[in-house]
Amino acid sequence: MAIEKTDAIVIRVVEFSESSCVVTMFTRDFGKIAAMAKGARRPKSAFESAIDLLTTSRILFLHKSSDSLDLLTEAKVQRRFRASDSSLPHLYAGYYVAELLASLTDLGDPHTDLYDLAQDTICRLDDMQNPATVIARFELNALRFLGLLPTLDHCSSCGLKVSENRRIPFGQITGGILCQGCRRGQAQVVSVTWPVIVGMRQLVAADVGLSADLPEISTTVNGELRGLMNNYMSHLLGKRPRMIPFLGMLVQPSVCS
């Protein structure tokens, strides 16, 4: 057993006993960890708000081998998730980020790129940026880092280039767009308008750095993109993410800046 130090985002907190919690965190150096926070539920606990959902902390933890829980020994708050104070869509978007980090990653499998993306996403939600665009960018780039990005340039079945068309078929099983020839006979195909594919390409483009401005995506395209991602994420995870029913709120015109 070794004491380890890293930065971590809290993605799930479960009460364990009258005084303790099990905290799941997505860390920069160790990927997802599940750690016991002893005494965390006591008043004046040493952890205080460091184990609130989506808080980023510098943590010390005892890394246990095998299947047993790690032990959180110290957590110092670096950044709280403040969007929750002012906007319900931004709050739900944050919860969805936590849910995806928990469901898409395995314990002890580090992804520094995904950690930095998650951190950037939380900052953008705090900054009250358009939550629909921020979340779609998070989903697509998270899938990219995990090797699950849908094919957006070529047919996901035969590899031929797919040219612009009013509507483009997207295969859930083949994992991306389809040419008209391959569409026939494919199950689980949805059809989206061309601007949705263009928007997705822009969101995963290499020059969209962590500090760069996000592309302007209209409310209509964001709405369609949301529907596509709801289906695709459910397909990939084998279950519908719990936050999906709340994400419709992200694409209402009133919340888009």
- Which residue is it, tokens 């057993």? 1
The residue (of 164 and 207) whose beta carbon lies closer to Zn ion is 164
The residue (of 14 and 187) whose beta carbon lies closer to Zn ion is 187
- Over the window 216 to 245, marking each residue x when it contacts Zn ion by CB under 5 A and - when it does not, the resulting string is ------------------------------
Structure tokens belonging to residue 72: 């959180």
Q: Taking a C-beta distance cutoff of 8 angstroms, is the pair 6, 63 a contact? A: no
- Over the window 128 to 167, marking each residue x when it contacts Zn ion by CB under 5 A and - when it does not, the resulting string is ---------------------------x-xx---------
Restricted to residues 73-132, the positions that interact with Zn ion (CB under 5 A) are none
* CB 144 to Zn ion: min, Å: 22
* CB 167 to Zn ion: min, Å: 16
- The torsion region of residue 46 among left (phi > 0), alpha (psi -120 to 50) and beta comes to alpha
* CB 164 to Zn ion: min, Å: 16
* CB 174 to Zn ion: min, Å: 9
The residue (of 13 and 179) whose beta carbon lies closer to Zn ion is 179
The residue (of 84 and 157) whose beta carbon lies closer to Zn ion is 157
The residue (of 132 and 155) whose beta carbon lies closer to Zn ion is 155
* CB 182 to Zn ion: min, Å: 3
By CB under 5 A, is residue 168 in contact with Zn ion? Answer: no
* CB 177 to Zn ion: min, Å: 9
The residue (of 133 and 157) whose beta carbon lies closer to Zn ion is 157
The residue (of 106 and 164) whose beta carbon lies closer to Zn ion is 164
Restricted to residues 170-199, the positions that interact with Zn ion (CB under 5 A) are 179, 182
Half-sphere exposure of 13 (CA within 13 A, CB side): 18
- Say how many residues touch Zn ion, by CB under 5 A: 5
Closest alpha carbon to 245 in 256, 230, 233: 230
* CB 192 to Zn ion: min, Å: 16
Q: Taking a C-beta distance cutoff of 8 angstroms, is the pair 29, 22 a contact? A: no
Contact residues for Zn ion, defined by CB under 5 A: 155, 157-158, 179, 182
